[in-house]
Chains A and B, each alone.
Chain A
Amino acid sequence: MTTINKNNIEAWLLDYSEGQLNEQELALLEAFLAENPEYRQWLSDFEPVYLPEEESIVFKKKETLLKPAASGRILRFSFVFPRLMAAAALLAAIALLWPRFQNQKINPEMRASLASPEIRLPGTPHAGKEHTLRGQEEKNKKNESIPRHETPGLANRTTLPETKENEQEKEKGREAPFHAEPLQKGMIASIAQNPGYYRYSEIPGWYGSTPVAMKHTLPVQNEERTPANLMESLLRSEMARAFIPETLEEDLPQADIQNNDGGPVVYLKLPPAGKKIIDKFLNR
């Protein structure tokens, strides 16, 4: 503040009462008060009232900021991502043993581990439905130039095969179990070459103007959130989902998406550092 006028005199008086004015500013204020003595009275009468600490008022529904809403729409800010990335740690073991699963030579202990509540994953996928973030339709149109399904093997990954078994399941009024295809090296390499947000399933989503992410939720287990964990959780969750397709836990902290009638969606950013994880996976 360099000048004093009737519009800002109260700010000056406040600063004065709080001892915030330097000598030059004090001189300016004194000169102003000399010309406008009515404000000198304000100052002499001013006995500021300060509000005492107020600790008795607390928000009693903190749990609602952590858990999914009843509608299934996951709303609450709960530092999900740091915890979300924790899933990676547990899912790491799954990734490492993926080839063994693929050959149906699953160690009974590992199978038990996969089925444990510590590694709960969403159930069946929702095929073929176009999901976009609310309010992003316009952006979607503008970004049509961004290629979709750019990763071989991803486009149909969550489409249920038309098997007799699936037909029978549908007739029973529930969704057929998910049958994931094995991960393909080409697919993973493509992910590695396209760090940043990555659309993981055939369900398109947008984060800002960038196509993203995953179709399903992840369990969260620890407080780590690293690029490596991000990538690992993406890779491993798909692998784990292939083997424990029917485990779905509603009360896990999850991220939100607007049009989530097909289930909550987690958007994961795949940073360049995640490439190391992929390379390691490929070279193993």
Chain B
Amino acid sequence: MRQYADNVYRFVLKNIRHEADAEDIVQNSFEILWKKHEEVNFEKAKSYLFMVARNNMIDQIRKRKRAGIADDESKADRMVTNEYTGASEALDYALRQLPAKQREVILLRDYEGYSYREIGEITGLSESQVKVYIFRARRALQKILVKPENVL
């Protein structure tokens, strides 16, 4: 459970970049998993958790948009572009530039090690679509990171 909590939290935080919201989403996802625990295969619990967290995350993003809440992080990103000081920061910055779907699938692939089929189950995409998004994400990351101003 502790490991899953870290994994889900990292996935959500990397996507929405709002700690409090990410914590709420993790807690809510575990609550839902608990309620559905009899319906969820134990071996699929982690995938189910990610799926629930992702749905919660999308709802949260929509709510924030409807409420007109400014994306402070995005503003901050725009302001501090190129101010990162290491490879990790550079990669983090590049990740934030990706469209949401590309970011989701590449996080699930690289951080969590899910197969393309499993990522498809979590995100509701076909395996082929997942591969397309991952290819685009890797290509985009490559382009962002090799821009002259981003070369460390």
Partner-B contacts on A (CB < 8 A): 1, 7-8, 10-11, 13-15, 42, 46-54, 57-62, 64-65, 75-81, 207, 255-256, 269
With a CB–CB cut-off of 8 A, which chain B residues contact A52?
88, 91
Query: A11 contacts which of B30, B37, B95, B132 (Cβ < 8 Å)?
Result: B132
B9 located at the interface, meaning its Cβ lies under 8 Å from any Cβ of chain A in the complex: yes
B23 located at the interface, meaning its Cβ lies under 8 Å from any Cβ of chain A in the complex: yes
Q: Is A65 touching B111 in the complex (CB atoms < 8 A)?
A: no
Q: Is B27 touching A61 in the complex (CB atoms < 8 A)?
A: yes
Task: State the main secondary structure of chain B at its contact with A.
Answer: helix
Q: Is B34 touching A256 in the complex (CB atoms < 8 A)?
A: yes
With a CB–CB cut-off of 8 A, which chain B residues contact A61?
23, 26-27
Report how many residues on chain B are interfacial, defined by Cβ distance under 8 Å.
39
Q: Is A65 touching B141 in the complex (CB atoms < 8 A)?
A: no
Smallest beta-carbon distance B21→chain A, Å: 13
Partner-A contacts on B (CB < 8 A): 1-2, 5-6, 8-10, 13-14, 23, 26-27, 30-31, 33-35, 37-38, 88, 91, 94-95, 106-107, 110-111, 128-129, 131-132, 134-136, 138-139, 141-142, 145
**Would you mind naming 6 contact pairs between A and B with Cβ atoms under 8 Å apart?**
A7-B132, A11-B128, A57-B6, A59-B8, A75-B34, A77-B34
**8 extra interface residue pairs, beta carbon distance < 8 Å, beyond A8-B128, A10-B136, A52-B91:** A11-B131, A11-B135, A49-B138, A65-B26, A79-B1, A80-B34, A81-B37, A255-B34
Q: Is A51 touching B91 in the complex (CB atoms < 8 A)?
A: yes
Smallest beta-carbon distance B129→chain A, Å: 8
Query: A51 contacts which of B9, B27, B33, B107 (Cβ < 8 Å)?
Result: B107
Q: Is B132 touching A75 in the complex (CB atoms < 8 A)?
A: no
In Å, the complex CA distance between A8 and B136 comes to 12
In Å, the complex CA distance between A50 and B6 comes to 20
In Å, the complex CA distance between A7 and B129 comes to 9
In Å, the complex CA distance between A8 and B132 comes to 7
In Å, the complex CA distance between A73 and B37 comes to 18
With a CB–CB cut-off of 8 A, which chain B residues contact A51?
91, 95, 106-107, 110-111
Q: Is A54 touching B10 in the complex (CB atoms < 8 A)?
A: yes
